[in-house]
């Protein structure tokens, strides 16, 4: 009988933890428990048997961490998949009981978002391996975001329409996953997704906090709901991660979870066969309770009410003007505030603030941006580098910026910390820019839904392989990236490359223009700035004896030439202010408007 049929009239109790229980039984082994499928298969069979003897009606294969992060060889991954299923079936057959076996996949979440083709190759190959040895139930647990899931589930269902898919996410106490998905979002999306047969929550929380979330929950279908909490919250003792033994409390709380509509219950980290045994004894013969079912609220749809002229121009085809200022190294913001005032008067569409470029500390662009936007009235777009912030900080930063009315961001991975500083300055890089954009996309679908943020990415168009660059751009666009600010453009070759990328992706391109303000500046940029190539024809326009005014006149005319040549390719101009010379930038903008308006 298929699980979905069984659950119409019964609840179902699964097994508990494999990893933490294995480490409890064999505390000195070390390594990944999944390796024991090959090195100590009898131990794995015995743990499966203990859960079955305790009354578990579904057991999971010991394959949670079998992915390309821990097992780089595809043949080894597929071998462990097959062997883990066979060991689980061996335990079931020895018991003589009717027990379901689910092919188990752990989190697909990756801090550096994988190429979708790579992810699908790894997972579908394992699906094939499991299917070959008889698996028909595929459980994806402890998920953090939705990336790739629809494609994977489509593959599983097209392979065999009788295959069943179980999907569970791991949330924190506030109801959010590591990827920024809300509890509410999962209820809406997967409660109504026909490819998913059972969905729910596992890991991350103890049963009481899951119960608290469920008490505030409205379901959007009668689809079976699975709850597999941790035994509690872990603590470290003598180098070991432990969980307090609290089976009676766990079971009594899980009974309340059943009252709230759960259909499938079991355990995750810290739980043992004793937890399962006590659940079976206490409520193993219960029938499922009805769920509180409602309609998906229309307020959760994205309205996107951002009113900046920059955003409006992107939608109409009119060229937008974006100007970058560097936050100061100290507490003096007089120059940047005066610059913002001048740019507002010049009707610049967006002021963007860099985030400690080259790994050198400057004033925080979000805090400075909030002050500038409030006091000058110009819309700001802080750069946000993943280099210095972990997931908690990135999410908190977006929330804090949001309540200060900042709606535009440039999301970048960030320049590395200089080599000389690495002994005492640590880079974080929990995320790269693509993963960060994915989190922002998730937040736009729930917490920011009534007034969504807009965000762009940086475009270094100089790479050798244009197809790789375009593919990365497309991956960012898939995560909600709305525009790209390019590296400075100088040569005809630069323009041709940007045009090629525009044609390949259809992206909104804001072309970078960095004026050269002197002969010395031109020579320095030519010889010491990596990734920037300035043609001799432009450098030759400058000479050592020029006055400041003469050099600025050349900067204006050269910038106008670049703007003219790239006008048919770009959707706006991104002017980088050299040495805080805002008046020069205003002259360039006026010249471009006079000729190209």
Residue 234 has pLDDT above 90, yes or no: no
In this predicted model, what pLDDT tens digit does every residue of 319-344 receive, in sequence order? Answer: 999 999 999 999 999 999 999 999 99
Residue 449 has pLDDT above 80, yes or no: yes
Tell me the pLDDT band of 28, cut-offs 50, 70 and 90.
low
Question: Cα separation of 521 and 509, whole Å?
Answer: 26
Q: Dig out the tokens for 57 from the structure.
A: 């009606």
Lowest mean pLDDT among 224-238, 280-294, 412-426: 412-426
In this predicted model, what pLDDT tens digit does every residue of 255-286 receive, in sequence order? Answer: 999 999 999 999 999 999 999 999 999 999 99
C-alpha count within 13 angstroms, C-beta hemisphere, residue 435 = 23
Cβ burial of 491 (10 Å; 0-12, 13-18, 19+) is middle
What number of residues does the chain have? Answer: 597
Q: What is the model's pTM?
A: 0.80
Average pLDDT rounded to a whole number, residues 351-377: 92
In this predicted model, what pLDDT tens digit does every residue of 115-170 receive, in sequence order? Answer: 788 899 999 999 999 999 999 999 999 999 898 999 999 999 999 999 999 999 99
- What's residue 423's pLDDT? 61
Cβ burial of 429 (10 Å; 0-12, 13-18, 19+) is middle
- What's residue 111's pLDDT? 65
In this predicted model, what pLDDT tens digit does every residue of 70-121 receive, in sequence order? Answer: 999 999 999 999 999 999 999 999 999 999 999 999 999 876 666 788 899 9
Tell me the pLDDT band of 242, cut-offs 50, 70 and 90.
low
Residue 245 has pLDDT above 80, yes or no: no
Residue 248 has pLDDT above 60, yes or no: yes
Identify the CA nearest to 157 among candidates 136, 187, 129: 136
- What's residue 300's pLDDT? 41
DSSP bridge pairs for 60: 102
Q: What is the mean pLDDT of the chain?
A: 92
- What's residue 590's pLDDT? 97
- What's residue 390's pLDDT? 84
- What's residue 302's pLDDT? 40
Average pLDDT rounded to a whole number, residues 196-213: 96
Measured between its terminal Cα atoms, the distance across the chain in Å is 70
Question: Cα separation of 499 and 464, whole Å?
Answer: 15
Average pLDDT rounded to a whole number, residues 555-568: 97
CB 573 within 8 A of CB 560: no
- What's residue 112's pLDDT? 65
In this predicted model, what pLDDT tens digit does every residue of 454-480 receive, in sequence order? Answer: 999 999 998 889 999 999 999 999 999
In this predicted model, what pLDDT tens digit does every residue of 479-528 receive, in sequence order? Answer: 999 999 999 999 999 999 999 999 999 999 999 999 999 999 999 998 88
Question: Cα separation of 559 and 588, whole Å?
Answer: 7
Long-range contacts from 365-370, C-beta under 8 angstroms, 24+ separation = 365/327, 366/397, 366/400, 366/401, 366/404, 366/406, 368/327, 368/333, 368/336, 369/401, 369/406, 370/401, 370/404, 370/405, 370/406
- 3-class SS letters over 247-307: HHHHHHHHHHHHHCCCCEECCCCCCCHHHHHHHHHHHCCCCCCCCCECCCCHHHCCCCCCC
Residue 179 has pLDDT above 90, yes or no: no
Q: Dig out the tokens for 288 from the structure.
A: 């499922």
- What's residue 243's pLDDT? 65
Average pLDDT rounded to a whole number, residues 41-52: 98
Identify the CA nearest to 509 among candidates 457, 438, 580: 457
Cα 494 to its chain centre, rounded Å, is 31
Average pLDDT rounded to a whole number, residues 303-315: 76
Long-range contacts from 389-394, C-beta under 8 angstroms, 24+ separation = 389/428, 389/430, 390/428, 390/430, 391/178, 391/430, 391/431, 391/439, 394/430, 394/431, 394/436, 394/439
Reduced to 3 states (helix: H, G, I; strand: E, B; else coil), residue 294 is coil
In this predicted model, what pLDDT tens digit does every residue of 403-447 receive, in sequence order? Answer: 999 999 999 988 676 655 566 666 676 788 998 998 899 899 888
What is the set of domains in the chain, with CATH numbers?
Answer: 3-296 (3.20.20.330), 309-596 (3.20.20.220)
- What's residue 235's pLDDT? 63
Question: Cα separation of 108 and 489, whole Å?
Answer: 38
- What's residue 143's pLDDT? 97
Residue 238 has pLDDT above 60, yes or no: no
Q: Dig out the tokens for 173 from the structure.
A: 């106490």
Average pLDDT rounded to a whole number, residues 60-72: 95
């Amino acid at each position: 009988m298929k699980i979905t049929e069984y659950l119409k009239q019964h609840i179902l109790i699964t097994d508990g933890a494999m990893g933490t229980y294995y480490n409890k039984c064999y505390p000195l082994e070390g390594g990944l428990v999944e390796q024991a499928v090959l090195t100590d298969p009898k131990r794995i069979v015995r743990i499966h048997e203990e859960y079955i003897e305790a009354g578990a009606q579904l057991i999971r294969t010991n394959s949670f961490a079998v992915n390309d992060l821990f097992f780089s060889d595809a043949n080894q991954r597929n071998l462990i998949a097959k062997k883990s299923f066979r060991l689980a079936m061996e335990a079931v057959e020895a018991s003589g009981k009717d027990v379901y076996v689910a092919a188990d996949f752990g989190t697909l979440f990756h801090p550096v978002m994988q190429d979708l083709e790579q992810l699908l190759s790894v997972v579908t190959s394992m699906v094939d391996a499991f299917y070959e040895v008889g698996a028909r139930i595929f459980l994806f647990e402890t998920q953090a975001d939705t990336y790739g899931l629809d494609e994977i589930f489509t593959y599983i269902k097209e392979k065999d329409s009788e295959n069943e898919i179980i999907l569970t996410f791991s949330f924190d106490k506030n109801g959010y996953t590591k990827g920024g998905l809300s509890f509410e979002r999962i209820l809406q999306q997967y409660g109504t997704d026909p490819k998913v047969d059972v969905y729910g929550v596992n890991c991350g929380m103890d049963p009481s906090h899951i119960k608290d979330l469920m008490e505030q929950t409205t379901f959007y279908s009668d689809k079976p709901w699975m709850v597999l909490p941790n035994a509690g919250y872990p603590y470290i003792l003598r180098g070991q991660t432990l969980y307090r033994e609290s089976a009676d409390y766990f079971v009594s709380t899980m009974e309340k979870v059943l009252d709230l509509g759960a259909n499938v219950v079991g355990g995750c980290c810290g739980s043992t066969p004793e937890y399962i045994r006590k659940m079976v004894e206490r409520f193993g013969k219960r029938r499922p309770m009805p769920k509180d079912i409602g309609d998906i609220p229309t307020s959760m749809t994205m309205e996107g009410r951002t009113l900046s002229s920059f955003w409006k121009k992107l939608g109409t085809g009119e060229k937008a003007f974006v100007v970058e200022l560097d936050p100061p190294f100290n507490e003096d913001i007089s120059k940047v505030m005066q610059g913002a005032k001048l740019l507002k008067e010049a009707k610049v569409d967006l002021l963007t603030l860099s985030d400690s470029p080259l790994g050198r500390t400057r004033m925080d662009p979000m805090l400075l941006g909030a002050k500038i936007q409030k006091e000058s009235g110009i819309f700001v777009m802080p750069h946000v580098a993943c280099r210095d912030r972990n997931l908690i900080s990135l999410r908190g930063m977006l929330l804090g910026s949001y309540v200060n009315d900042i709606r535009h961001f440039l999301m970048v991975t960030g320049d590395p910390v200089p080599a000389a500083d690495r002994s005492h300055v640590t880079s974080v890089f929990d995320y790269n820019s693509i993963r960060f954009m994915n989190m922002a996309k998730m937040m736009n679908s729930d917490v920011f839904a009534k007034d969504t943020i807009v965000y762009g990415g940086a475009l270094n168009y100089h790479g050798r392989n244009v197809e790789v660059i375009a593919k990365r751009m497309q991956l960012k666009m898939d995560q909600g990236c709305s525009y790209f600010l390019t590296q400075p453009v100088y040569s005809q070759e630069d323009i041709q490359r940007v045009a090629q990328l525009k044609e390949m992706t259809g992206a909104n391109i804001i072309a970078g223009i960095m004026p050269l303000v002197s002969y010395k500046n031109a020579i320095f940029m030519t010889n010491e700035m990596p990734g920037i190539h300035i043609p001799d024809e432009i450098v030759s326009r400058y000479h050592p004896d020029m006055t400041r005014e003469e050099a600025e006149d050349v900067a204006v005319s050269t910038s106008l030439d670049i703007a003219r040549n790239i006008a048919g390719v770009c959707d706006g101009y991104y002017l980088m202010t050299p040495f805080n010379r805002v008046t020069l930038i205003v002259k360039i903008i006026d010249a471009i408007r006079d000729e190209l308006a």
